[in-house]
A and B are shown apart, each in its own frame.
Chain A
Amino acid sequence: MIDKEKHEFLKTKANDIRREIVAMVHRANSGHVGGSLGAADIVTALYYHVMRHDPDKPEWDDRDRFILSKGHCTPVIYAALADCGYFPKEDLLEFRRPGSHLQGHPYQPKTPGIDASTGTLGIGISTGVGMALGAKLKKQEHYYYILCGDGEIQEGQVWEAAAFANKYKLNNVIGFVDRNYLQTDGYSEKVMPMDPLAPKWESFGWKVFTIDGHDFEDIISTIEKAKKEDRPVMIIANTTKGKGVSFMEGEAEWHGKPPAKEHFDKAMLELK
């Protein structure tokens, strides 16, 4: 449960993050705006309420980890990390530029706060379950939040990781499928159908919750429930790609198209 004040705070933060996302991709004239906007509420809930983390100690061993398995959505995580204070906000100006630590896809050795390198789809969730196994060996109690794309889960490796997490009873893994039904080439169920999705994860031994990925109360209360499970949890978060910018919402073309000046101005007006 979150109070009204907290709810307003998270709403404001998510809006700030959405503004940064649009600005970052516009400036770089490159990057993934749609999926980043769609995941902004989940990432906001995690970094501003759920996760135990300390921007002054990005290497703190007992912190909760976040793995952006849908690695192309760096704008959303970079915006959150910069706002939390992991690195200066000015660094965002250098997103996708040579010499910048803010690569197109997350690179753990260079960016403070990035817990795992990802980029080719499917490797993030595998790395995450490996890390979670490591924490179990060290008898640590923090959590691994892994955000997967719903196009990404078409990768066979995702299901290898699903089996692995079940085998080792990794109840410190809380995953999300960002279920917006859109991928690069269009409607996901046309490109490669994955529905019914919940039974797939359940049959791999995971506990599944289905939520509204834009409802902070739903996100946060479900994570609380997930923490009580004795097995890995996958939260299927129904989201709208491009959420918050009317002309981007539900439009596959904004998966990887940077907004030009005209679209940037229009988006920023909506995200005031």
Chain B
Amino acid sequence: MEYKATKQGYADALRELGRENENILVMDADVAKATLTEQFEAEFPDRFFNCGVQEQNMLSAAAGLALEGFIPFASTFGVFATCRAGDQMRSSIAYPKLNVKIGVTHCGISVGGDGASHQSNEDIGMARTLPNMTVIVPGDYEESRLATHAAAKMKGPVYLRFGRDKYPVVSEIHGSFEIGKAKTIREGSDLTIITTGILVNEGLLAAAVLSEQGYSVRVVHMHTIKPIDTDAILKAARETKGIVTAEEHSILGGLGEAVAAIVSENHPCPVQRVGVMDTFGESGQSQELLDIYGLRAPNIVEKALKILR
């Protein structure tokens, strides 16, 4: 299996966008080497602004640049954009609905060695509760690249979420990308697994395991958490016995709760959530943390069997 960084998809798209449109600007807060926005800086030094370690000013200043007609991509780690600069995301960007793209990396437990202070497991929840905010969580390198292009094309605030590590390349989600439109990447009639972000590969692996046990499992990849694809969720609720959600995020506030809310209000069916339990993470290797915190295919299978049996 090929592994590639989702943040590299972001960085590659930024350079492609930079060549197409001179209104594309990139900002960073002293983590340009880690977010990979330094690659944009190398090609477009005059359109790159390192704000230093000041996420709050960066996001409000990005709002100012949007007011002047530019399309700023403000980049930092997920935890700093949402938890440190949550007010600026809300008051400077979301409320006036400005054309700012917040591209964050180092999200989820797979940050690894830096530990809980840097592991953003709450950011989807924070971002999706903001009115006007579009929230996109791509599944692999290529989808990250496509999502960044799509974010640049739409007018309005977008939260783009990437990881730090290299993750599996999942060809099933390549090709087209439409904000708000989920990708059904495997058909099935017994159960639906809905994934977001890098857990898409685990979702496919889980479906294969369940298939060996005689179950027909659908996999829906929900790259956009907001606006969420309600039709795809309700179709799953109607056509299969239940739904398992899988996300590299807290089970609170993210994909799982979003899906459960839609299902319970419109077409109740069992929903099981795979995600980080309501706990802080810890230091460790990226891939082993995904095991320890229960974000793997066997965890999805276990939840699925609770519904299927």
The verdict on A130 contacting B65 (CB below 8 Å), with A117-B92, A123-B87, A123-B91 known, is yes
B49 contacts A133, CB within 8 Å? yes
Inter-subunit contact A117/B88 (CB<8 Å): no
Contact string against B for A residues 103-129, beta-carbon threshold 8 Å, 1 for contact and 0 otherwise: 000011100000111111011001111
Contacting pair B60 A130 (CB below 8 A) = yes
Contact of B61 among A109, A115, A126, A138 (CB under 8 A): A126
Chain A, interface SS category: helix
Residue B70, interface by CB 8 Å: yes
Interface bracket on B: 20 to 34
B56 contact from A109, A122, A131, Cβ within 8 A: A122
Q: Is the CB of A117 within 8 A of B87?
A: no
**A44 shortest CB reach to chain B, Å:** 25
- Whether the Cβ atoms of A163 and B52 lie closer than 8 Å is yes
Given contacts A138-B68, A160-B56, is CB(A117)–CB(B95) below 8 Å? yes
Distance (whole angstroms) from the CB of A133 to the closest CB of chain B: 7
Interface residues as binary, B73-88 with A (CB distance below 8 Å gives 1, 0 otherwise): 0000000000000011
- A132 close to B (CB within 8 Å): yes
B131: Cβ under 8 A from any A Cβ: no
Minimum distance in angstroms from A160 CB to a CB of chain B: 3
The answer to whether B64 touches A129, judged by C-beta atoms less than 8 angstroms apart, is yes
Chain B CB within 10 Å, residue with most, of A119, A122, A135, A157 = A157
Closest to A115 in B: B67
Whether A126 contacts B65 by the Cβ 8 Å rule is: no
Q: How far is the CA of A163 from the CA of B59 in the complex (A)?
A: 15
Verify B61–A129 contact, CB threshold 8 A.
yes
A132 contacts across to B, CB distance below 8 A: 64
Extra 15 A-B pairs, beta carbons < 8 Å, given A127-B64, A137-B68, A138-B68: A107-B95, A108-B96, A116-B67, A122-B56, A123-B92, A126-B60, A127-B60, A127-B92, A128-B64, A129-B57, A131-B67, A133-B65, A134-B69, A138-B69, A164-B51
Query: Could you name 29 residue pairs across A and B whose Cβ atoms are closer than 8 Å?
Result: A107-B95, A108-B67, A115-B67, A116-B63, A116-B64, A116-B67, A116-B96, A117-B95, A117-B96, A118-B91, A120-B91, A123-B87, A123-B92, A126-B64, A127-B64, A127-B92, A130-B60, A131-B68, A134-B70, A137-B25, A138-B68, A157-B54, A157-B56, A160-B54, A161-B60, A161-B61, A164-B51, A164-B57, A164-B61
